[in-house]
């Protein structure tokens, strides 16, 4: 397993990383769609990808739209991006921002079922019990991070397999304290360990964002139905005229057509459906992509030190 795992990491097929749950910290997540002039789209996407409060960035709508997920750690940081920097950037033609109201799938490591046939039901159950047996159902109140937590989390977001010695050095604490704090963060689900995959390198060549308008009475049922589909990696209820969004991963365009017409279209309550194919992934789960390959993200300290303003 180790001999096979290491080449997959080197080739950019997968990464083991830690992801932060904004809800556990009392924070909100936003999906932002930025309409741009085509000549400025890449610069906008690259600038957003350098921000540590932006977890993923894609080019969509034939290259005229940037879609990103914003998980700002403070209201001031969020407002600075959405109300100041982006509106004042020359290539930006329009912005729509929607807050995530409810996750149906995509917020935990065990969510995506696209590769569920790789394990038997018994193997998947054993792995889930091993991984999540000590996890709490979720904190009753927002968790608070200590001074040593952020360096530890920053390292785990780049390498979920970092050793206790590496975590201790990053946080400036003893190995025993680093191990105990990591266990506490995992148990409270402030962070969770995830496997980030390059879908194209695994044969899933078409990805798209779906924007749906669903009657409110049917919204929970439609969201749960999408969460059961192997094509869906993320689905959430959001604010705005489109009240449900989903990210889907398909083998090819024929698969995408079949999924949207046969699996999504007939669902009761679906009024409108917009399909926005992803032209390019710029950032995914904190990793900057080079073509289809996952690359290690720069350290947050270096990113913050070198952060440039959005292009004028």
Domain with 149 in it: what CATH number?
Answer: 1.10.10
Do 274 and 287 lie in one domain? The reply is no
* The pLDDT value given to residue 24: 77
* The pLDDT value given to residue 188: 84
CA-CA-CA-CA torsion sign (158, 29, 209, 93): negative
Q: How many beta carbons lie within 10 A of that of residue 20, not counting itself?
A: 21
Residue 253 predicted with pLDDT over 90: yes
Do 81 and 172 lie in one domain? The reply is no
Do 43 and 94 lie in one domain? The reply is yes
Task: State mean pLDDT over 243-247.
Answer: 97
* The pLDDT value given to residue 225: 97
Rounded to two decimals, the pTM is 0.82
Task: State mean pLDDT over 89-111.
Answer: 85
Between these two residues, 282 and 145, which has the higher pLDDT value?
282
18 near 151, Cβ under 8 Å? no
Average pLDDT across the chain, whole number = 85
Q: Give the confidence band of 107 by pLDDT, cuts at 50, 70, 90.
A: low
Residue 119 predicted with pLDDT over 80: no
Residue in 70, 69, 11, 33 with CA at minimum distance from that of residue 291: 11
Do 42 and 110 lie in one domain? The reply is no
Residue 280 predicted with pLDDT over 70: yes
Do 247 and 115 lie in one domain? The reply is yes
* Inter-CA distances, 85 with 36, 38, 90, 308, Å: 14, 19, 10, 11
Do 78 and 213 lie in one domain? The reply is no
Domain that holds residue 223: 104-119+198-278
* Inter-CA distances, 38 with 65, 89, 279, Å: 8, 14, 13
């Amino acid at each position: 397993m180790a001999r096979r795992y290491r080449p997959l990491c080197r080739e950019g097929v997968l990464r083991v990383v830690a992801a932060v749950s904004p809800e556990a910290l009392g924070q909100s997540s936003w999906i932002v769609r930025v309409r741009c002039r085509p000549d400025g789209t890449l610069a906008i996407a690259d600038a957003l990808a350098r921000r540590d409060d932006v977890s993923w960035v894609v080019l969509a709508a034939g290259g005229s739209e940037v879609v990103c997920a914003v998980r700002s750690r403070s209201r001031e940081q969020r407002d600075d991006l959405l109300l100041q920097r982006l509106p004042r950037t020359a290539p930006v033609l329009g912005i729509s921002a929607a807050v995530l109201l409810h996750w149906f799938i995509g917020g935990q490591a065990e969510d995506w079922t696209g590769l569920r046939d790789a394990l038997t039901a018994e193997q998947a159950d054993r792995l889930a019990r091993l991984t999540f047996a000590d996890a709490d159902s979720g904190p009753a109140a927002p968790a608070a991070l200590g001074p040593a937590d952020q360096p530890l989390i920053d390292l785990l977001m780049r390498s979920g397999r970092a050793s206790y010695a590496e975590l201790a050095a990053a946080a400036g604490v003893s190995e025993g304290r680093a191990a105990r704090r990591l266990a506490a963060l995992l148990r409270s689900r402030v962070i969770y360990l995830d496997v980030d995959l390059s879908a194209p390198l695994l044969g899933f060549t078409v990805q798209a964002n779906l924007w749906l308008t669903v009657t409110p009475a049917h919204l929970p049922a439609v969201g749960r139905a999408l969460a059961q589909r192997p094509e869906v990696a993320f689905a959430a209820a959001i604010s705005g005229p489109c009240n449900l969004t989903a990210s889907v991963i398909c083998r090819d365009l024929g698969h995408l057509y079949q999924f949207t017409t046969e699996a999504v279209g007939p669902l009761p309550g679906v009024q409108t459906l917009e399909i926005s194919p992803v032209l390019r992934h710029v950032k995914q789960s904190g990793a900057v992509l080079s073509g289809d390959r996952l690359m290690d993200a720069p350290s947050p300290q270096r990113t913050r030190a070198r952060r440039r303003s959005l292009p004028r």
